[in-house]
Chain A
């Protein structure tokens, strides 16, 4: 999509969890790339593997989880199989992550300043006072009033929105090339959510940082992302430029997802819902399209796992993993 070499290029990523004898495949054949200054939305239900994708990139998948296949290239260098020491040097420096719940992510009994200074001094040999100064400036930049005082506060003394801003500030501290934001605004009320979204967008745009925004909220994606990848049961079922995917969705799952977004124009009619129940854990033996049991268009062909192919819209980079994708027009949202 972009002419410059991608910051991050993930190819054929497969992450499994080995539970006793059974192997659960949380991420299956996930590929995408993201360039400098780009924002990618990674969308899916809980358990669709979007967070595990993020952790896989960071090398933070703990046993019983293992990355079993694929490459994760940061500026062309494969992070998979990198010794823990070198990976540690990249984590928090070139790639940083913002967790969903800032209350449990920040250490409850360490001062904010200490946690920020640690993040700097793990990667830069600067004095404590210099690290303290940088931390204060960064808190100011993410919109925290009187940042100098906040540095000596404990997490429980800050509001949820403030704590999440602290986490965003920590993610930005070392001026990373890529930030993975794992549903960072989920626990916050909508006004704070909108503020943080806007600030985040401005901050990454100013620095040319690539951003992966993991979320289940399509409205957020529409606001912030240049491109979007929709995940279902561990695989990307559709991806492409945000406006194309959201306006002319091709995968039946994306259509179902978009139809179940409440909208103002919908009036009193009952909110549409994808039929069936979601089964997040995909065992090793499962074959065929994972969405087939709930899909209105499924037939015998769907017993074979589909590959990602170019969508009918013909938009650059718009791909869909489906045997029976919607054509360019018919997939439009029924309610919009």
Chain B
């Protein structure tokens, strides 16, 4: 287990290095960011001074090494616009995104997996048909459109939920969270529901397909031969077989939600990292973009590690020693 985590850590650092290089080169190619946020009519020496202050007059490789040595000290640079450390900006916004993504995943799994189980068990039942239609619809309809519809129906027309923004926050383990209060939950529900539709459809379809496959397995027939009630067969014998692949896919999806929930956050004016990075991209706030992309590498690596550990717990045939590569 220790060896496994150590190897994973090595892979993570390598990935981080490669990612930093790619991102840095790509952003450098975009040209000088200073012109985006300095008054174009400023005198030339002021512009030159600003460029020098940011270190942008140095050759690319020197900029890159300065950046790398900064990382080694936990410093990902300061935002060009606010002057505050980029990593701190991200970490401040993280609880909001974390809350939103986890809320969405919770809805997706709590609704998607049971419905998928039912649909896989009885494909021609009402549940089966509903899952077929619903999952197809929510995969094919664009997220932003559904988000707007949710706002129109539930916020503007009926006023059950607020149209956007985050509710009041309280401190929990040093993070500002909003799900602790009813008002916070009301604000969280619509964006979380909107964000949950895609993973929900995915969970449904995946669960349904794996259940249909599992039901044909010999061990299910054997469980029936033992006279086990169908409920027990489905909830233990089938589910236990379905979970590892489900966890793997949902882990990847969670990574995607955390890193790229930009659209939903924009529509619902949710003050998360997605909105932060969109703003940063618009004005070429280089340190923030780089810090954010490196941060997504960290998120995906961590989630993959957790997924592998969970799968090893679920399936004793998986050995973590061999699974690292």
Per-residue interface assignment for chain B, residues 232 to 265, with 1 indicating a CB less than 8 Å from any chain A CB and 0 otherwise: 1000110011000000000000000000000000
A107 touches B219 (CB 8 A): yes
Inter-chain CA distance A104–B317, complex, in Å, is 14
A109 touches B227 (CB 8 A): no
Inter-chain CA distance A107–B221, complex, in Å, is 10
> Of A39-47, A90-98, A249-257, A294-302, which binds chain B?
A90-98
B14 at the interface (CB under 8 A from A): no
B65 at the interface (CB under 8 A from A): no
Instruction: Name 9 interchain pairs, CB-CB below 8 A, sorted by A.
Output: A60-B224, A91-B224, A92-B228, A106-B222, A108-B241, A108-B315, A119-B228, A122-B228, A122-B229
Contacting residues of chain B (182-224) with chain A, CB-CB under 8 angstroms: 217-219, 221-224
A89 touches B227 (CB 8 A): yes
**Across-interface contacts of A58 in B (CB, < 8 A):** 225
State the Cβ distance, B234 to closest chain A Cβ, in Å: 13
Q: Which residue of the partner chain, among B218, B223, B226, contacts A104 with CB atoms under 8 Å?
A: B218
**Across-interface contacts of A97 in B (CB, < 8 A):** 225
Q: Which residue of the partner chain, among A62, A108, A119, contacts B226 with CB atoms under 8 Å?
A: A119
A109 touches B315 (CB 8 A): yes
A278 at the interface (CB under 8 A from B): no
Inter-chain CA distance A127–B132, complex, in Å, is 41
Known interface pairs A60-B221, A108-B219, A110-B240. Does A88 touch B316 (Cβ–Cβ under 8 Å)?
no
State the Cβ distance, A209 to closest chain B Cβ, in Å: 16
B218 touches A105 (CB 8 A): yes
Inter-chain CA distance A156–B219, complex, in Å, is 14
Q: State how many residues of chain B have any CB contact under 8 Å with chain A.
A: 21
**Across-interface contacts of B224 in A (CB, < 8 A):** 60, 88, 91
Known interface pairs A99-B218, A122-B232, A154-B316. Does A107 touch B223 (Cβ–Cβ under 8 Å)?
yes
A25 at the interface (CB under 8 A from B): no
Known interface pairs A107-B241, A109-B314, A109-B315. Does A118 touch B228 (Cβ–Cβ under 8 Å)?
yes
State the Cβ distance, B233 to closest chain A Cβ, in Å: 9
A170 at the interface (CB under 8 A from B): yes
A137 at the interface (CB under 8 A from B): no
A123 at the interface (CB under 8 A from B): yes
**Across-interface contacts of B217 in A (CB, < 8 A):** 104
Per-residue interface assignment for chain B, residues 305 to 325, with 1 indicating a CB less than 8 Å from any chain A CB and 0 otherwise: 000000000111100000000
Inter-chain CA distance A96–B221, complex, in Å, is 12
Q: Give the 4 A-B residue pairs with the shortest CB-CB distance, closest first.
A: A92-B227, A104-B218, A92-B226, A91-B227
Inter-chain CA distance A280–B74, complex, in Å, is 71
**Across-interface contacts of B221 in A (CB, < 8 A):** 60, 62, 99, 105
Contacting residues of chain A (70-105) with chain B, CB-CB under 8 angstroms: 88-93, 96-97, 99, 101, 104-105
Inter-chain CA distance A61–B237, complex, in Å, is 19
A105 touches B219 (CB 8 A): yes
State the Cβ distance, B47 to closest chain A Cβ, in Å: 65
A154 touches B229 (CB 8 A): no
Contacting residues of chain A (154-180) with chain B, CB-CB under 8 angstroms: 154, 156, 170
Contacting residues of chain B (282-325) with chain A, CB-CB under 8 angstroms: 314-317
Inter-chain CA distance A106–B222, complex, in Å, is 7
Smallest CB gap from B314: residue in A: A109
Inter-chain CA distance A89–B226, complex, in Å, is 9
Inter-chain CA distance A108–B315, complex, in Å, is 8
State the Cβ distance, B231 to closest chain A Cβ, in Å: 11
A99 touches B240 (CB 8 A): no
- Given A110-B236, A118-B226, 14 more pairs with CB closer than 8 A: A60-B221, A91-B224, A92-B226, A92-B228, A104-B218, A107-B223, A107-B237, A107-B241, A109-B241, A119-B226, A122-B228, A123-B227, A154-B316, A156-B317
Known interface pairs A101-B218, A105-B222, A107-B241. Does A90 touch B227 (Cβ–Cβ under 8 Å)?
yes
State the Cβ distance, A166 to closest chain B Cβ, in Å: 11
A91 touches B225 (CB 8 A): yes
**Across-interface contacts of A154 in B (CB, < 8 A):** 316-317
B226 touches A96 (CB 8 A): yes
State the Cβ distance, A188 to closest chain B Cβ, in Å: 17
Inter-chain CA distance A93–B217, complex, in Å, is 22
Inter-chain CA distance A219–B261, complex, in Å, is 68
Smallest CB gap from B216: residue in A: A62
Per-residue interface assignment for chain A, residues 119 to 135, with 1 indicating a CB less than 8 Å from any chain B CB and 0 otherwise: 10011000000000000
> Which of A96, A97, A105: most chain B Cβ within 10 A?
A105
Smallest CB gap from A87: residue in B: B227
Q: Which residue of the partner chain, among B218, B226, B241, B317, contacts A91 with CB atoms under 8 Å?
A: B226
**Across-interface contacts of B232 in A (CB, < 8 A):** 118, 122
**Across-interface contacts of B316 in A (CB, < 8 A):** 109, 154, 156
Inter-chain CA distance A189–B229, complex, in Å, is 35
**Across-interface contacts of B240 in A (CB, < 8 A):** 107, 109-110
State the Cβ distance, A155 to closest chain B Cβ, in Å: 9
